[in-house]
Amino acid sequence: MTVLFSKKCELALQSVLYLSILPKGTIESADNISKQIKAPREFVSKILQSLTDVDIIKSKKGKFGGFSLAKDPKEIKLIDIITAIDGDYVFDSCVMGFPGCSDENPCPMHEKWAKLREESLQMLSTNTLADLYEITKRKIEKI
């Protein structure tokens, strides 16, 4: 079985999306976030830590501490979260795992896949948390 993004990355996206629908500046604990997205707390906590390192969210220790967005939702693109966790490997490695796959020495899928890869990258690079606000809110409320 196979996945586009790692589990870590999925939970990162879910966590940050959740933070993005809370009133601006809200500090939410890892415990609350993990409950909301129904994922193991310690694991979510670890993921959130790596997101603070790249300045997508910020953290506050101690009582009433937790995590909050480090910038405005319209400044955070989906691709930022993805590359922070999974790297940009997804978008520049060969789909079929062939060595040395490039425009000059393409694998059998290369050309046909290039278009899809480009479109995905485009989609993830243009959409910000702000763009997804309404639909995120609706989804989170239904979980």
Give the binding site for its own copies (CB under 8 A). 1-7, 9-11, 13-14, 17, 38, 78, 86-87, 89-90, 93, 95-100, 105-113, 116, 119-120, 123, 127, 132, 135-136, 139, 142-143
CA-nearest of 6, 65, 76, 63 to 30 is 65
Q: How many residues does the chain have?
A: 143
- As measured in angstroms, the least distance from the Cβ of 39 to its own copies is 9
Smallest separation, CB 79 to its own copies (Å): 12
DSSP string covering 31-67, please?
HHHHHHTT--HHHHHHHHHHHHHTTSEEEE-STT-EE
By CB under 7 A, name the binding residues for DNA.
1, 6-8, 11, 29-31, 39-43, 45-46, 48-49, 52, 59-67
- Residue 124: CB partners within 8 Å, gap ≥ 6? 77, 78, 79, 82
What is the nearest approach in angstroms of DNA to the Cβ of residue 33? 7
